[in-house]
Amino acid sequence: MVTLLGCIADDFTGATDLAALLARSGLPVSLRIGVPQDDPDDAAALEVIALKIRTVPAADAVQQARDAAHWLKRAGATRFFWKYCSTFDSTAAGNIGPVAEMLMHEVGADQTIYCPAFPENGRSVFMGHLFVGEQLLAESPMKDHPLTPMRDSSLVRLLEPQVRGKVGLAKRHAVAQGQAALSERLQELVTGEVSHVIVDAVSETDLNIIAEAAADMPLVTGGSVIAGQLAQVYLQRGLIAKPEGRVSLNVPAGGQLVLSGSCSAMTRRQVTSYSATSASLKLDPLRLADEGEVAAGEWLERQPSEGAKVIYATAEPDEVRSAQQKLGTERAGQLVEQAMAHLARRAFDLGVRRFVVAGGETAGAITQALGITRLEIGPEIAPGVPWVFADMEGERVALALKSGNFGSETFFDDAFKLLEAA
Ligand SMILES: Nc1ncnc2c1ncn2[C@@H]1O[C@H](COP(=O)(O)OP(=O)(O)O)[C@@H](O)[C@H]1O
Ligand SMILES: O=C(O)[C@@H](O)C(=O)COP(=O)(O)O
């Protein structure tokens, strides 16, 4: 099949979020880990390439995203989507802006939109300011993120230093008036040479209007919801058709494990809740620096494969800051990610086949270490978090790659229960 929409995600939880929201349209979605080595002879209409480029140097992120775009072009994609976090996770150097600008150049776009809103998960954009629930982004727990602390809520101000072109805003007043008014506003901005447009959105209706206005843009950027709405518009316009029949899921039997490297507020609550009824082990980056993860591996070996268990580095902001001051931010993060990756591999060797992983960077490290290259999309456990399935060394594996702040307090339990019922 020829690809219609080619998507590039900047992390792995974000990629499964995107794939889940695209799959809500009923269209088949293909999710690949890293830029495929092979030619795209089995491409799907909606292709997603998951990269781990949210916090790497901007030049590296741009290069990897360019390679992904070239593969998607070879698959036939004529429209492209750049997926980043619904909390606009980035630094002053990038990587949202530099990748968007490179992709605009690649696809010949003179304008693109930025639309991270995800109303179901409490992310809305008004007057260019991003809200997380009722709080401005910079007042939300995202201000304490270990790698991308978000200290400004204005998307215009956040994006400006990341791009060369002009940044503008399409306010909710234009969006609420419908597609024609929004298209007119976008046209006005492009005439004024504004190539990067933040678009307000506070509801699904807003996102639907935005998707209608942006459906023919060669490049759209944002969170998963606007991409899902684009797929719906393609269906309505007959650009793409739903396949006949249903694909049956092959759910693996085997042991289970939660691995959590996210320090986000919701994950902290989820770890506390799950630890109350499960075997749990906390990883300390300082101990990992001295001794590695041997003790954790031994702990894992002592646990029944089928039993409920969680290994976590999840910690309160003060504790994270203290580890980062002693080890450096990058090293602290890498120590945890590497340990999680080794433990996931050990768990697989011990018979674990159902993994719940909390944290985008953590999920990236684990999925890469397991050598997984392609994922099938299963049922959504919570908005934006589906079970995904992969074949690994001849074995079937189920993974739930959970974004730090997604899901309710009982998410880990909910995830395994859903798999039992599938
Ligand atoms: N206790 C800790 N101290 C310092 N860094 C940590 C600690 N626990 C986890 N980390 C690091 O914090 C980062 C969390 O990012 P990520 O996995 O993307 O989570 P989220 O989805 O919440 O953003 C990872 O790089 C992880 O290794
Ligand atoms: O858009 C979102 O919020 C998610 O898909 C996402 O990218 C979250 O990233 P992490 O919180 O780092 O997992």
324 lines ligand 1 (CB under 6 A): yes
CA angle 195, 45, 124 (to 5 degrees): 45
The per-residue pLDDT for 401 is 97
Between residues 146 and 102, which one has the greater pLDDT?
Answer: 102
**Residue in 198, 205, 178, 197 with CA at minimum distance from that of residue 120:** 205
The per-residue pLDDT for 350 is 96
The per-residue pLDDT for 276 is 97
14 lines ligand 2 (CB under 6 A): yes
227 alpha carbon – ligand 1 mean position (Å): 27
264 alpha carbon – ligand 2 mean position (Å): 11
Whole-angstrom Cα distance, residue 257 to residue 104? 41
* Distances in whole angstroms, Cα of residue 160 to Cα of each of 150, 156, 166, 168, 230: 15, 6, 7, 9, 26
CA angle 357, 362, 365 (to 5 degrees): 110
Q: Mean pLDDT across the chain, nearest whole number?
A: 95
Between residues 62 and 40, which one has the greater pLDDT?
Answer: 62
The two three-digit tokens of residue 71, written as one number: 């593969």
Q: Is the pLDDT of residue 245 over 90?
A: no
403 lines ligand 2 (CB under 6 A): yes
Q: pLDDT tens-digit profile of 57-80?
A: 999 999 999 999 999 999 999 999
Whole-angstrom Cα distance, residue 155 to residue 169? 9
- Range 340-368 average pLDDT: 96
- Pick the atom of ligand 2 nearest to 54's CA: 12
Provide the β-strand partners of residue 130.
Answer: 125
327 lines ligand 1 (CB under 6 A): no
Name the percent of the chain lying above pLDDT 70.
100
Whole-angstrom Cα distance, residue 261 to residue 283? 9
Q: pLDDT tens-digit profile of 132-162?
A: 999 999 999 999 988 889 999 999 999 999 9
204 alpha carbon – ligand 1 mean position (Å): 31
Whole-angstrom Cα distance, residue 152 to residue 137? 7
**Residue in 186, 188, 170 with CA at minimum distance from that of residue 115:** 170
Q: How does residue 169 score in pLDDT terms, banded at 50, 70 and 90?
A: very high
Locate tokens 């990748």: which residue? 99
Q: pLDDT tens-digit profile of 270-299?
A: 999 999 999 999 999 999 999 999 999 999
User: Worst-scoring range by mean pLDDT, 93-102, 181-190, 205-214, 238-247?
Assistant: 238-247
Q: pLDDT tens-digit profile of 170-199?
A: 999 999 999 999 999 999 999 999 999 999
- Give CA 193 to chain center in angstroms: 30
Residue identifier of the C-alpha nearest atom 6 of ligand 1: 333
Q: pLDDT tens-digit profile of 247-264?
A: 677 889 999 999 999 999
181 alpha carbon – ligand 2 mean position (Å): 31
Residues written for the chain: 422
**Residue in 203, 170, 168 with CA at minimum distance from that of residue 184:** 170
**Residue in 219, 266, 224 with CA at minimum distance from that of residue 110:** 219
Whole-angstrom Cα distance, residue 10 to residue 85? 8
Given a contact cutoff of 8 angstroms between Cβ atoms, the answer to whether 357 and 366 are in contact is yes
The ipTM value here is 0.98
The per-residue pLDDT for 126 is 98
The per-residue pLDDT for 236 is 95
Q: How does residue 39 score in pLDDT terms, banded at 50, 70 and 90?
A: confident
404 lines ligand 2 (CB under 6 A): yes
333 lines ligand 1 (CB under 6 A): yes
Whole-angstrom Cα distance, residue 344 to residue 346? 5
Q: Is the pLDDT of residue 314 over 90?
A: yes
What is the identity of the amino acid at 12? Answer: F
- Range 319-335 average pLDDT: 96
Residue identifier of the C-alpha nearest atom 8 of ligand 2: 403
Nearest-10 Cα torsion for 3, 5, 9, 14: -110
Between residues 89 and 420, which one has the greater pLDDT?
Answer: 89
Q: How does residue 92 score in pLDDT terms, banded at 50, 70 and 90?
A: confident
